[in-house]
Amino acid sequence: MTATVSPEAAPPAGNARRRPRPVWVAVLAASLPMFMATLDNLVMTTALPVLRVDLGASVGDLSWFLNAYTLAFASLMLPAAALGDRLGRRRMMVAGLVLFTLGSLAAGFSSTSGQLIAARALQGVGGAAIMPLSLALLADSVPPRLRAAAIGIWGGVSGLGVALGPVVGGAVVEGLRWEAIFWLNVPVALVALPLLLLGVRESRGGRTHVDVVGTVLLGGAVLSGIWGVVHGNDDGWSDPVVVTSLALGVLLLPVYVLHARRAGDRAVLPLRLFGHRGFASANVIGLFFSLGMFGAVFLLSQYLQVVQGYSPFEAGLRTLPWTAAPMLVAPVAGAVAPRVGVRALLVAGLAMQTASLVWFAWLTEAGSTYGAFLPALVLAGVGMGLTFAPSATAVLDGLPDTDFAVASSANSTLREFGVALGVAVLTAVFLGAGGDVTPTGYDGAIGPALLVGAAAVAVGLVAALAAPGRPSRGGPVRA
């Protein structure tokens, strides 16, 4: 079956006569806003004790400083992609960048917990338009032969945002004031905005119809599911609100499937996308990889502080061999993917991460010093680098340009859900094994939690065996 691009998706006639934009400008324009969005996912984790004192925040407030961003971010990515397909992806991403910056300013000037929670939600709304549309715009703005390499750099920048979140948060809180965490976004946005307007061309998807019913059903499923997951450990998994939220999230999914079957290509997430091997396998990988690895990052960051006695900033620095390695490895993985194949890189990367989590489980239970962790940290980081870019390449493999935004949004949504699920599940295993946040409370508890994370990544490894080999070069869609 050969895909046809609708007139709405075609670039203006004048674009054909314009001088092509340099590829590096397109990569920077798409990556810089996405770096801000990923950085702010974890940047507040090390600032929470200070916020509790300065704002008189309750424990519930502290969780909402994180969850307000996560909930808005994850539940609105698919609607943002649908609007981008209709109104223009660059236009929608510019709007997201502006909202994110305004939310950052509001967060920096917050004087109460309620103001900060509202500002974080506004940041999440803006971030929902940045993360998935950045990949779609990048893929549309570079030649197909350079697409895998460009996505590799994009994946490296995404990994850098994740890596530097706790480090930047710890450095700012210890050296300046917590408000500076958010003010730092403003100068970055002032650079990113003109780059975005000049560095990538406008593009649209083939859809002119906004699936309101599907958006409510699928967005409601994501929102309810993440709500239940993030509150499960704090409120108890048998809490009526938690049970209702999780049940609603599960029930809305089959209702959406019935709706999407009738809606066909007008659905906010067309079911035909799951018929593509790359899209289906990349989404299974994204969910279970995020569940295992980011749940482990959360536990090990606390372990370095509570058990080994490092400050938040020192602990963040000591995780860099793991969390910063993707910045170096992902661009290389993107460059070699067309030659060695996406599947080989994904299998190698996920195998390394599975092994590293088993290694971490043994090291923590053995009470090893930080020096003994270094080889395992590097192994985990290289594995993550081999996963970020190839999975982003795989999710777009064989799809027409008109589907890039919705495919990227679906993948980003599942990965965000995996992060929330990983923190909740691994924490629940830790607590269920008798764990406690004390210097001796990790004995016999963190090991089982990390092994559960390893099992989750191993599920992603099995899914990687079904991933496509070498990415296609922008040819017709394969049925």
Per residue in 425-478, pLDDT (tens digit) is: 888 888 888 888 788 888 899 999 999 999 999 999 999 998 877 655 443 333
Which amino acid type is present at position 242? V
Q: Which of 141, 181, 155 is nearest to 34 (CA)?
A: 155
Number of structural domains the chain divides into: 2
The answer on 175 and 147 residing in a single domain is yes
Q: What is the average pLDDT across 414-425?
A: 82
The distance between the two most distant Cα atoms of the chain, rounded to a whole number of Å, is 68
The answer on 321 and 286 residing in a single domain is yes
CATH of the domain at 49: 1.20.1250.20
The answer on 305 and 396 residing in a single domain is yes
Q: Could you give the C-alpha distances from 174 to 51, 61, 311, 312, in angstroms and in order? A: 13, 21, 9, 9
Q: Which of 227-241, 341-355, 359-373, 454-468 has the lowest mean pLDDT?
A: 227-241
d(CA 107, CA 274): 39
d(CA 285, CA 383): 13
In a domain, 76, yes or no: yes
The answer on 194 and 232 residing in a single domain is no
The answer on 215 and 293 residing in a single domain is no
Angle between helices 59-75 and 113-141 (to 10 degrees): 30
Helix (H) or strand (E) holding 194: helix 185-199
The answer on 424 and 397 residing in a single domain is yes
For position 105, what pLDDT does the model report? 93
Tokens of 138: 């990048």
In a domain, 2, yes or no: no
For position 447, what pLDDT does the model report? 93
Query: Over 70: is that where the pLDDT of 108 sits?
Result: yes
Point out the domain boundary residue: 201, 226, 258.
258
In a domain, 4, yes or no: no
The answer on 74 and 221 residing in a single domain is no
Q: Which of 429, 338, 458 is nearest to 389 (CA)?
A: 338
Residues 6 or more apart from 368 whose CB is under 8 A from it?
none
SS3 of residue 458 by DSSP:
helix
**Domain interval for residue 299:** 21-210+268-464
Q: What is the average pLDDT across 377-405?
A: 84
In a domain, 177, yes or no: yes
Per residue in 120-177, pLDDT (tens digit) is: 999 999 988 887 788 778 877 777 777 777 777 777 777 667 666 666 766 666 666 7
Per residue in 180-231, pLDDT (tens digit) is: 778 888 888 898 898 888 878 887 766 656 778 888 898 888 888 888 877 7
Question: Phi, psi (5° rounding) for residue 294?
Answer: -80, -25
The percentage of residues in the chain with a pLDDT greater than 70, rounded to a whole number, is 86
The answer on 96 and 198 residing in a single domain is yes
The answer on 236 and 88 residing in a single domain is no
Yes or no: say if 391 and 346 are a contact pair by the CB < 8 Å rule.
yes
